[in-house]
Amino acid sequence: MKKTTAITAALSALAIATLAGCAGSGAGTPSATELDAMAQKMVQESFHDKGIVKVKEALSIDETLQACDRADVSGVPLDAATIKRLEATNFKTIQWPADGKYLGDWKSGEKIAQSGKGRTWTDKADSANGGNCYNCHQIDKKEISYGTIGPSLYNYGKLRGVTDPSSPQAQEIVKYTWGKIWNSKAYNACSNMPRAGYKGILTQKQVADIVALLLDPKSPVNQ
C-alpha cells in the first residue's frame, strides 16, 4: 500500500522538478493542486489495469495519504490539529469483530504474518492474502532475516503484561492491537504500516488470527 503512494509522491516530485525549469523562464510557481493533477496524469498515462490490479483502486489517494505525502515531499511535518483530525477520521473506519471475538488461532496467524502472497495481477480475486508482517517486523527469535521499518514484535504480549488475553485487564491492549492492524493510521496518521483491514488486504478472521499471534502466551512471539 505504501509503495503505490510513494509512486505518486515521486511523480509529484518529478512534476515539481519539471515545472521548476519552467519557473526559471517566467512561469509562475505551480500550486499543490496543479502538481497533484500533473502527477495523476502521469500515473494514468504510465500504468494500466492488469488482472485483479486496477490502477484507479491501487493508486487511489484519500485525504490522509495526500496530506502525509505532501508533508513528506515538502519536509514540513503536519501540525498537531491536522494529525488529530486525520487519526479520528481513520478511527471511525475500524470494524470491530462482528462476533465479538478478538483472538483467533495464533498458528494460522503465524502463517499469515510470514506470507507476502496476494494482490498482484497473477493472483485470483478470491485467493487469501498474506499479512507480509515479516517484511517490516521481527516476529520471533528464530528468525534470521526480517524487516526493520517497524519495531520488533517479539514478546509483544509479554512486554505489555498480557498473561491472559481474555481477562478484563487485557482488553484495552487487545482492542488496540486489533485496531492497529485494521487501520494503523487511526493511531499514527502517517504510519508506514498498511491499513490491512480497512483496505481489504485481510479479513476479520485473519486479523483475529494475527491478534492471537501477538497476544496468546503460547504463541512463539511470547516465548
* Grid cell 471511525 in the structure block, residue: 92
Give me the pLDDT at residue 79, please: 97
Give me the pLDDT at residue 3, please: 46
Cβ distance 217 to 123 under 8 Å? no
Would you state the cell numbers that stand for residue 94, as one nine-digit string? 475500524
CATH topology of domain 106-222: Cytochrome Bc1 Complex; Chain D, domain 2 (1.10.760)
Domain ranges of the chain: 2-77, 106-222
Cβ distance 222 to 156 under 8 Å? yes
Residue 75 falls in which region: left (phi positive, over 0), alpha (psi -120 to 50) or beta: left
**Half-sphere exposure in the Cβ direction for 100 (13 Å, CA):** 1
Q: What is the mean pLDDT of each run of 10 residues along the chain (223 residues)?
A: 49 50 57 78 80 72 92 94 98 97 97 89 85 94 91 96 94 98 98 95 97 97 96
Nearest to 174 by CA among 206, 128, 216, 120: 216
Cα–Cα distance for residue pair 194/73, rounded to 1 Å: 19
For residue 129, give the amino acid letter: N
Give me the pLDDT at residue 10, please: 52
Give me the pLDDT at residue 121, please: 79
Compute and round to an integer the Cα radius of gyration of the chain.
20
For residue 115, give the amino acid letter: S
Would you state the cell numbers that stand for residue 186, as one nine-digit string? 487511526
Give me the pLDDT at residue 54, please: 75
Instruction: Note the pTM of the prediction, 2 decimals.
Output: 0.80
* Grid cell 503512494 in the structure block, residue: 5
**DSSP code of residue 27:** P
Cβ distance 213 to 109 under 8 Å? yes
Which helix (DSSP H) or strand (DSSP E) does residue 213 occupy? helix 204-215
Question: What does residue 12 show for φ and ψ, rounded to 5 degrees?
Answer: -65, -40
